[in-house]
Amino acid sequence: MRALVYRGHKRVEIENVPDAQVPAPDGALVRTTNFAICGSDLHGYHGPVNEERIGNTMGHEAIGEVVEVGPEVRRIRPGDHVAVSAVVGCGRCEECQSLITARCANSETRVLNLGQAEAIAVPAADSSLLQIPDGVTDEQAVLLTDILPTGYKGVRGADIQPGGTVAVVGAGPVGQMALETSFLFGPSKVFAIDQVPYRLEEAERLGAIPIDASQVDPVEAVLDQTGGKGCQHVIEAAGPQATVRIAFGVLAHGGTLSQVGATTDPEMTINLMALFSKDLTYRVGLVSPQYAWPELVPLLQEGKIHPERIFTHHLPMSDGPRGYEMFDNREDGVIKVMLDPTR
Contact 117, 57 (CB under 8 A): yes
> What is the C-alpha to C-alpha distance for residues 248 and 256, in angstroms, rounded to an integer?
9
Residue 268 touches ligand NAD, criterion: CB under 6 A: no
Contact residue for ligand NAD among 36, 174, 317, 337 (CB under 6 A): 174
The answer to the question of residue 22 lying near ligand NAD (CB under 6 A) is no
In this structure, the number of other CB atoms found within 10 A of the CB of residue 12 comes to 25
Minimum CB distance to ligand NAD smaller for 28 or for 335:
335
Looking at the Cβ atoms of 76 and 247, the one nearer to ligand NAD is 247
Under the criterion CB under 6 A, does residue 172 sit at the interface with ligand NAD?
A: yes
**Residue 111: phi, psi to the nearest 5?**
-85, 125
Answer for which of 59, 170, 255, 341 binds ligand NAD (CB under 6 A) is: 170
Minimum Å distance from CB 61 to Zn ion? Answer: 5
Check binding of 39 to ligand NAD (CB under 6 A).
yes
Task: Pick the closer one to Zn ion by CB: 73 or 84.
Answer: 84
- Span near ligand NAD by CB under 6 A; candidates 11-19, 172-180, 222-230, 298-306: 172-180
Contact residue for ligand NAD among 34, 116, 128, 150 (CB under 6 A): 150
CB of 19 to ligand NAD, least distance (A): 28
Q: Does 240 bind ligand NAD (CB under 6 A)?
A: yes
Which of the choices ligand NAD, Zn ion, none does residue 123 contact, using the CB cut-off of 5 to 8 A by kind?
none
CA distance 96 to 101: 5
Does 289 participate in binding ligand NAD (rule CB under 6 A)? no
The correct pick among 27, 59, 157, 173 for binding ligand NAD (CB under 6 A) is 173
User: Of these partners, ligand NAD, Zn ion, none, which one is at the site of residue 199 (CB under 5 to 8 Å by kind)?
Assistant: ligand NAD
Distance CA 224, CA 35 (A): 41
CB closer to Zn ion out of 26 and 41 = 41
Contact between 40 and ligand NAD (CB under 6 A)? yes
Q: Verify binding: residue 237, ligand NAD, rule CB under 6 A.
A: yes
Find the shortest distance in angstroms from Cβ 169 to ligand NAD. 7
Residue 303 neighbours by CB distance under 10 Å: 8
Give the CB-nearest residue to Zn ion: 38
Those residues with Cβ within 8 angstroms of residue 193's Cβ, 6 or more apart along the chain or in another chain: 167, 168, 169, 170, 171, 211, 213, 218, 222, 243, 246, 250
Candidates 213, 292, 299, 339; binder of ligand NAD (CB under 6 A) is: 213
Smaller CB separation from ligand NAD, 38 or 136: 38
Our finding on whether 175 is near ligand NAD (CB under 6 A) is: yes
Does position 239 bind ligand NAD by CB under 6 A? yes
Binding site for Zn ion (CB under 5 A): 38, 40, 146
List interacting residues with ligand NAD (CB under 6 A): 38-40, 42-43, 146-147, 150, 170-175, 193-196, 199, 213, 237-240, 242-243, 260-262, 286-287
